[in-house]
A and B are shown apart, each in its own frame.
Chain A
Amino acid sequence: MGKIDMTAVSVIAANLQAILGLNTQILPVQPEPEYAFLARRGQYDGGKILHALAAVSDSSQFMLAVVSVDIFTPILTFVFGESQLGGKAAVVSLFRAKSKNLEQSYNRAAKIAIHEIGHLLGIVHCRTPDCLMGFSNNLEKLDSLPLRFCQACEFEARRRLRHLFGEPGVKAP
């Protein structure tokens, strides 16, 4: 959505495909989600973006939005991404993932995306060290996590993916 680094979007799509085995399809770029802007906070409401995204009629199992604006929730000052637990829609923000090192930025974006897709698969935060389903409260934590789940979360993800009919696809506007 909005002005977006298309390379980041491609990297995310490729990672979802490689790591979770999801079929991904990149949709055309949508306009900036102005409806979610809250002037008082100067940020965008992640929940509103999710609502709008879930309302789009599309046959895909999951919808993942990639935005370059900073997103928040009513209770948190900011989030790297947001998603509906066991639902359809997730959003990744590149705003705080930015780094002078491009590779690092892309790496972070991919981690956020996979973490949020994990939530869509119904997986809750994991306490196992070195599991991508651990909650990242800051960049340092996010960078310390590997680009994979622990054995238990991996197993859970595979099970849920198998449970969801056919080959689920992901579209990234």
Chain B
Amino acid sequence: MKSSTHIMVVDDEETICEALMAWFVKDGYKVETALSGEGALEYLQGNDIDIFLVDIKMPGMNGIELLSRIKEKQPAAAVIMMTAHGSIQTAVEAMKLGASDYLCKPFDPDALSLLMERVMMQKTLQKENTILKERLLEQQEEAADVFIVHSEQMRKIFSTVDEVAPSSAPILITGETGVGKDIVARAIHLRSQRSYGPFVAVNCGALSESLLESELFGHEKGAFTGAMKTRRGRLEMADSGTLFLDEIGEISTKMQIVLLRVLEEKQFLRLGGSSPVSSDFRLITATHRDIPPLIKEKQFREDFYYRINVIKIHIPPLRERQDDIPALADHFLKRYVEDTGKHLEGFTQKAIEHLISYSWPGNVRELRNVIERAVVIARGYIIGTDELKFLDPGKLSCETPSGTLEQIEMNHIKSTLASCDGNISHTAKKLGINRSTLSRKMKQYQLTTLSMAK
């Protein structure tokens, strides 16, 4: 981190600027100097500085003034005040205004190096903290999404997770896109003895075969054009932790053989490498595909499937566990209301029914996005069907055509009516028939607008 740390020295005495610059350059930093506060601010237009050393006494803008201007522009920057002996009082004052520390000129070598160590440590912690906080928040939010479970199916899954987490057996998680396979994988990791180790996720479907190979196994310098330096692969990074391979159904049979060997031998070579690297990880894989048919078509190796499928967890799609929909919708509503500061109290009964009857091809992720959008466009105190109009009525769950032609017709009319809030003219227009034909069919199927507008 050090070599990239950018320091600025601001002092009206040129010899001080030069001497400090020489010292910091020797200590491996990138250094700028400015002879006045105004000069420093000018440089700040468009440049970031990590650490400032500012002289308190300067003609024109003094150090204290510059300190507050820096804190406005770059609040994360560390500012160290420099003072000649005798004016420590001002330096202490500066600390109250947000300076990180102060030094009395000339500095004791001990004081300077200790101070720099301390400031660098703070900077590192600061950076790590923001990254960690962001990641944690994201994970907590996502993890919370999965734990909103009312349905019997999901409760069973979570008791399975608790049961299987402590072992090191490979787990295969199946389920449609958006059901939260990655979050279940993370939950397993967090409940395992490896929770202190890393959780390393790779989406196998997002990478070409050669990229995936170097991503997983890493490479030695010069292994291929563009391999400028040795890089550790995800397999190595997952040592003592969990390796999560998402979209495992997308990898080639050749890659399956390679991975099978790694799982058996617990060691592998980096691309272009000759000495084996060993890594101890627990493997969790996931796919939205149904693997057994792929095995029949020779697109997936049976031996590899047995290796990864020691424990199987299937997460049902949202439309098969409609009990979870209202609770999830409520959960997302609360979150986005908090984010946007809008006063929204809930959903109309009709809106909830609308959500339940939708087929949710994108599952929990889609539901989350839909609620977010609804919150943004909502005008009143409650979310009604108006706010959910953008839901594709074709995706309402009765859409999947099964049954007799009559049943399909009935279902289609029913769902169109629902999407039009029971408005006959709108529905007729959408169906491409006239009002009287619609009324006749409604009578035939015993459909009432009342049941739609419940």
Query: Which A residues contact B (CB, under 8 angstroms)?
Result: 47, 72-79, 85, 119, 124-125, 127, 135, 137-138
A79: contacting residue among B28, B105, B109, CB under 8 A: B109
Contact in complex: B26, A125 (CB < 8 Å): yes
Given contacts A127-B2, A135-B109, 7 further A-B contacts (CB under 8 A): A74-B15, A74-B19, A76-B106, A76-B109, A77-B108, A79-B109, A125-B27
Interface size class of B (residues with CB under 8 A): 20 to 34
How many angstroms from the CA of A135 to the CA of B24 in the assembled complex?
Answer: 11
Instruction: For the complex formed, measure the closest distance between the CB of B352 and the CB atoms of chain A, giving whole angstroms.
Output: 60
Knowing A75-B16, A124-B28, A125-B28, say if A85 contacts B108 (CB, 8 Å). no
- Grouping DSSP codes into helix (H, G, I), strand (E, B) and loop, the A interface class, with mixed when no group exceeds half, is loop
With a cutoff of 8 Å between Cβ atoms, the chain A residues found around residue B406 in the complex are none
- Grouping DSSP codes into helix (H, G, I), strand (E, B) and loop, the B interface class, with mixed when no group exceeds half, is helix
With a cutoff of 8 Å between Cβ atoms, the chain A residues found around residue B15 in the complex are 74
Instruction: For the complex formed, measure the closest distance between the CB of A131 and the CB atoms of chain B, giving whole angstroms.
Output: 13
Contact in complex: B19, A124 (CB < 8 Å): no
Contact in complex: A75, B28 (CB < 8 Å): no
How many angstroms from the CA of A85 to the CA of B15 in the assembled complex?
Answer: 17
Contact in complex: B110, A75 (CB < 8 Å): no
With a cutoff of 8 Å between Cβ atoms, the chain A residues found around residue B107 in the complex are 75-77
Contact in complex: B16, A124 (CB < 8 Å): no
Of A74, A77, A127, A138, the most chain B CB neighbours within 10 A belong to: A74
How many angstroms from the CA of A92 to the CA of B55 in the assembled complex?
Answer: 29
| B168 at the A interface (CB under 8 A) | no
CB contacts under 8 Å to A, within B17-52, are 18-20, 22-23, 25-28
Contact in complex: A74, B16 (CB < 8 Å): yes
| B449 at the A interface (CB under 8 A) | no
A-B contacts counted at CB < 8 A amount to: 55
Contact in complex: B25, A137 (CB < 8 Å): no
Contact in complex: B106, A74 (CB < 8 Å): yes
Digit string of B335-378 for contact with A (CB within 8 Å is 1, else 0)?
00000000000000000000000000000000000000000000
Smallest CB-CB separation from A126: which chain B residue?
A: B28
Contact in complex: A77, B106 (CB < 8 Å): yes
Digit string of B111-126 for contact with A (CB within 8 Å is 1, else 0)?
0111000000000000
Of A72, A79, A124, A127, the most chain B CB neighbours within 10 A belong to: A124
Instruction: For the complex formed, measure the closest distance between the CB of B213 and the CB atoms of chain A, giving whole angstroms.
Output: 31
How many angstroms from the CA of A138 to the CA of B16 in the assembled complex?
Answer: 22
Contact in complex: B110, A137 (CB < 8 Å): yes
Contact in complex: A76, B26 (CB < 8 Å): no
Instruction: For the complex formed, measure the closest distance between the CB of A110 and the CB atoms of chain B, giving whole angstroms.
Output: 20
Contact in complex: A119, B113 (CB < 8 Å): no
Instruction: For the complex formed, measure the closest distance between the CB of A90 and the CB atoms of chain B, giving whole angstroms.
Output: 12
How many angstroms from the CA of A112 to the CA of B22 in the assembled complex?
Answer: 18
With a cutoff of 8 Å between Cβ atoms, the chain A residues found around residue B105 in the complex are 75
The 7 closest A-B pairs by CB, nearest first: A74-B19, A137-B109, A124-B28, A137-B113, A75-B19, A137-B110, A74-B15
With a cutoff of 8 Å between Cβ atoms, the chain A residues found around residue B109 in the complex are 76-79, 135, 137-138
Contact in complex: B106, A135 (CB < 8 Å): no
Instruction: For the complex formed, measure the closest distance between the CB of A102 and the CB atoms of chain B, giving whole angstroms.
Output: 25
With a cutoff of 8 Å between Cβ atoms, the chain A residues found around residue B23 in the complex are 73, 75-76
With a cutoff of 8 Å between Cβ atoms, the chain B residues found around residue A137 in the complex are 109-110, 112-114
Knowing A74-B106, A75-B107, say if A124 contacts B112 (CB, 8 Å). no
Instruction: For the complex formed, measure the closest distance between the CB of A135 and the CB atoms of chain B, giving whole angstroms.
Output: 6
How many angstroms from the CA of A137 to the CA of B113 in the assembled complex?
Answer: 7
How many angstroms from the CA of A73 to the CA of B112 in the assembled complex?
Answer: 13
Knowing A135-B113, A137-B112, say if A75 contacts B25 (CB, 8 Å). no
With a cutoff of 8 Å between Cβ atoms, the chain B residues found around residue A125 in the complex are 26-28
How many angstroms from the CA of A63 to the CA of B109 in the assembled complex?
Answer: 25
How many angstroms from the CA of A72 to the CA of B23 in the assembled complex?
Answer: 13
Contact in complex: B26, A85 (CB < 8 Å): yes
How many angstroms from the CA of A79 to the CA of B113 in the assembled complex?
Answer: 13
How many angstroms from the CA of A119 to the CA of B22 in the assembled complex?
Answer: 11
With a cutoff of 8 Å between Cβ atoms, the chain B residues found around residue A124 in the complex are 25-28
Ordered by A's residue number, 30 sampled pairs between the chains whose C-beta atoms are within 8 Å are A73-B19, A73-B22, A73-B106, A74-B13, A74-B19, A75-B16, A75-B19, A75-B20, A75-B105, A75-B107, A76-B19, A76-B108, A77-B106, A77-B107, A77-B108, A77-B109, A79-B109, A85-B22, A85-B26, A124-B25, A124-B26, A124-B27, A124-B28, A125-B27, A127-B2, A135-B109, A137-B109, A137-B113, A137-B114, A138-B109
